[in-house]
């Protein structure tokens, strides 16, 4: 009986921890690319692989230049919530690629405005910004809807 009580208490604690970690998506985020990119859409699985460094070229063989957002905020949180990984764990994966000679980490833009400019200026680039910032100078591949 005592064991059952301890088990129930432990499960309660785990549930509380999990609920504390559950965030709703706070911002509507656009996944954007340089207009030179041939793809018109992107699915979640491919986005995940691109940001993990598993997929490094577009279908036409152009190198994918990945940009990440340095500034903390709703847009970055929503992006990482969507792909289901903490930024720290993603960085650990990039570090693994770097230290095993398998690839370079994404470039980091300090602000969304700088991210937008970098995507516009870099052929093959992909990144994410608040949907309100998107204009015709970039290609919109996907929108992560606000929950």
Partner 1 sequence: MRRNISRFGGMILCIIFITASGTRADDLPIKIFGYFQTELRQDNDSGNPSNSFLLQQLNLFLQRDLAKDWVSFVNFEIVNSYSSFRDWGSFNLEEAWVSYRSSDQFKIKVGLQIPEFNNLNTIKNRSPLLPYIIRPVIYEASFGEFINLDLLTPTRAYTQIYGSIPSHGIKFDYAGYIGNSGDIRTSQQVRTSSRNSGQQSGVDTTNGNMVGMRLGIRYSGLKAGFSTTHEKSNTFVGVANYFKEPASRYDYVPLVRLGTDLSYNWKDFSLEGEYLSTRFTREIASGLNVKAEFFYVTLGYYFNDHLFLYGSISELNIDEFGIRVDSVNPPNDTVYSGYDIKTEVSLPTVGFSYSLNDRLTFKGQVLLANIDEKRSEPRNSVVFYRSRRDLDRYALAVSAFF
92 binds partner 1 (CB under 8 A): yes
Considering the complex, state which of residue 54 and residue 147 has its C-beta at the smaller distance from partner 1.
Answer: 54
Of 29, 47, 48, nearest to 146 (Cα)?
29
99 binds partner 1 (CB under 8 A): yes
100 binds partner 1 (CB under 8 A): yes
What would the x/- binding string for partner 1 be over residues 48 to 87, using CB under 8 A? ------xxx-----------------------------xx
Considering the complex, state which of residue 54 and residue 132 has its C-beta at the smaller distance from partner 1.
Answer: 54
Q: How far apart are CA 129 and CA 147, in angstroms?
A: 17
CA angle 102, 108, 86 (to 5 degrees): 75
Q: What is each CA distance from 141 to 22, 112, 115, 137, in whole angstroms?
A: 26, 17, 15, 13
Of 36, 15, 62, nearest to 50 (Cα)?
62
16 binds partner 1 (CB under 8 A): no
Question: Which residues here bind partner 1, judged by CB under 8 A?
Answer: 17-18, 21, 45, 54-56, 86-89, 91-92, 95-96, 98-101
């Amino acid at each position: 009986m005592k064991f059952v009580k301890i088990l129930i208490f432990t499960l309660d604690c785990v549930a509380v921890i999990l609920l504390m970690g559950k965030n709703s998506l706070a911002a509507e985020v656009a996944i954007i690319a340089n207009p030179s990119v041939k793809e018109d859409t992107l699915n979640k699985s491919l986005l995940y692989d691109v940001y993990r460094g598993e997929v490094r070229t577009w279908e036409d063989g152009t190198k994918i230049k990945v940009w990440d957002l340095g500034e903390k905020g709703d847009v970055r949180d929503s992006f990482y919530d969507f792909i289901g990984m903490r930024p720290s764990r993603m960085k650990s994966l990039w570090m693994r690629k770097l230290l095993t000679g398998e690839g370079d980490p994404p470039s980091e833009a300090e602000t969304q405005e700088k991210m937008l400019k970098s995507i516009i200026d870099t052929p093959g680039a992909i990144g994410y910004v608040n949907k309100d910032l998107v204009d015709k100078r970039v290609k919109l591949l996907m929108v992560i809807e606000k929950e």
